[in-house]
Amino acid sequence: MPRTRGIVADPRLLPNPTLLQEAPVASSSPHRPRRRAGLAAAIALTLATGGLALGVVAPASAAEPVAAAAAVAPTPGTNLPGAVTDIAVTPTAPEQGAQVTTTLDFTVPADAVAGDSFTVQLSPRLKDLPETFPVIDLESGAVVADAVVVKTAASNGAPAGIRLVVTFTDFVQTHMNVSGSAFIESSFDSTTTPSGVTSPFTSVVDGGATFTTQVTPVGPVGSHLNASKYGVFTRADQGRTNPLGALEYRIDTPVGPFATATTTDTRPAGQTWTFACGSLSFQDRQADARGLYVAGSSKPLAVPAASVTCTPGQVTVTWPSAPAGHFYRLVAPVDFAAATGTGAAQSFSNSAVTVLARTEGATPQSFPAQSVTRQASAGGEADGTDLPPVVTPPVTTPPVTTPPVTTPPVTTPPVTTPPIPTLPAGTNPTVEVPPVTTTPVTTTPVTTTPAATTPVTTTPAATAVTPVTRATPAAASPTRQPSSPSSSDSSLAFTGDEPLAPALIALLFAAVGTALVVTAHRRARRG
């Protein structure tokens, strides 16, 4: 009896096991991007810290030269004896009663600062010097230095002295190659510097050189054989700051004997000073045979008030008779109309005449006398080259930039449900499950072997027997077996916690449902 062939399920209806395999997991661990992001953040933090350190160190480094320069800056008030290059007195043959000029040349050291100075001990033969004066830059009018004349009294055997102190201003810090000269016009002492005798005028720089000029005055020296007249300043300011009693005139009669004498002192036209009538004084003095004053012989002389007439512009004195070897002196102080200030030196003139008769009834003789008294003058000129401006480059602090940390977006691929195919009559369609792209996870594939169908043998009857067709068994749903987790980060087990797990489960249910629908449809058609 022929055997009935068993009905075997069409393998095309079974799910393709290879389609259910998991895609291989990428070799890179999902934790590595996080590690890389952490490393990038660490590098960014290091760069930011380094930038901040550079920003702090750069300004400090730029300031180091300034601090070093300040450390070596010279101290103000330094004595500069080397600044004085020459001192000279002119003229070398002055007339008695005239003035001489002391000129001082200097060159300022390059490292001088405001407050530095030099001091010079001037010749003690000089007198009637000004108290202060400036040294001026002619181009700008700026004060280069201030000069002060200081008189010192004799003490401990040391003679009286005259010190000139010249102190520089900040002009020397804003200019280079500064040099100039100062001058003083003043009288000289005829007692210590007689006519016809060469006398040294010596100036000594404190801590420096000594300069000497030989001077030989000319002309008569204070002879009182004839009438004489001269003016002297009573104070060092010479009327520049205080106009009252700044100058006094000294008018001397000729040496006696004489029986009568009258002295008249008149202010010249153009002069603005006035006699200080309340301050007039009179002296009886003695002279030797040459007419020279005998030192220490001066004494006050009483003159009756009726013998004196004084107005702001004129003084008249009638003298008593004088014995041989005696002469009389009128001391007449004057007031200036105003202080003359620190400008140019001014001159003051006066003229007087003395009329006397040597004996009673003798013919009177006239002895005129004039004088011009000039203020001591002093000043100075200097120049220098402007220093170029010092340009300090700006200190730039580099900005601190922190690189951004970028977190890559997490993209979940869409899940596509395949359509349910319509089976035509008499066909056994193959159900194909479309490939699913998932996050790489390695799993162990599970292969399902179709169950064997035992053939059924039917003994034929007398009548035709319609063969019974066994329904196609439903395709067994493959079972996912959990794989053992790998010890390496590059192969992680699928735990179901990943975002794609629900999609994979849904896809498997869809495949099983499709197979059941196909089977039911075939049964319905056969039934």
**Tens-digit pLDDT profile for residues 466-486:** 444 444 444 444 444 444 444
Q: What pLDDT, on the 0 to 100 scale, is given for residue 259?
A: 95
Domain 28-221+377-408 in CATH 3.30.70.20: no
72-97: pLDDT as tens digits:
444 568 999 999 999 999 999 998 88
Q: Quick one: average pLDDT of 13-36? A: 44
Question: Does 411 score more than 60 pLDDT?
Answer: yes
> Where is mean pLDDT largest: 31-45, 180-194, 436-450, 513-527?
180-194
Of the given ranges (1-15, 200-214, 495-509), which has the lowest mean pLDDT?
1-15
Rounded to 5°, the CA angle 108-114-118 comes to: 50
Q: What is the DSSP letter of 282?
A: E
Q: Name the pLDDT band for 522 (thresholds 50, 70, 90).
A: confident
> Where is mean pLDDT largest: 22-36, 162-176, 417-431?
162-176
Of the given ranges (99-108, 128-137, 246-255), which has the lowest mean pLDDT?
128-137
Q: Name the pLDDT band for 357 (thresholds 50, 70, 90).
A: very high
Q: Which of 96, 93, 91, 97 is nearest to 219 (CA)?
A: 96
- CATH 2.60.40.1280 in the chain is located at 28-221+377-408
- CATH 2.60.40.1290 in the chain is located at 222-375
Q: Name the pLDDT band for 170 (thresholds 50, 70, 90).
A: very high
Please tell me the total number of residues recorded for the chain in this structure: 527
Torsion of CA 416, 420, 421, 422, to 10 degrees: -160
For 222-375, CATH gives 2.60.40.1290
Question: Does 37 score more than 70 pLDDT?
Answer: no
Q: Quick one: average pLDDT of 380-396? A: 79
Q: Which of 18, 140, 33 is nearest to 489 (CA)?
A: 33
First to last CA, the chain: 28
- Please indicate whether residue 370 or residue 200 has the higher confidence score (pLDDT): 200
- What is the dihedral sign for C-alpha 33, 37, 42, 46? positive
